Amino acid sequence: MESPKSRRLTVTLERVVAGGAHVTQVAAAIVGTWRDIASVISPILGQQGLAAR
């Protein structure tokens, strides 16, 4: 079952692709999404994240 947040991500990428975006624009949208996710979880995980020690 897809969560509402997951669905929003899917819809966003579908719009980019449906708009005739070049592969670099799709990649930029994906990178932007991951950066948004990182900025939200960074305060929880810290600077090192889940890096192995």
Q: What is the pLDDT along the chain (53 residues), one digit of tens a residue?
A: 678 878 888 888 888 889 898 999 999 988 988 888 888 888 888 777 665 45
pLDDT at site 12: 84
CA distance 41 to 16: 25
CA distance 32 to 1: 24
| C-beta of residue 28 within 8 angstroms of C-beta of residue 17 | no
pTM higher than 0.85 for the full model?
no
CA distance 23 to 5: 23
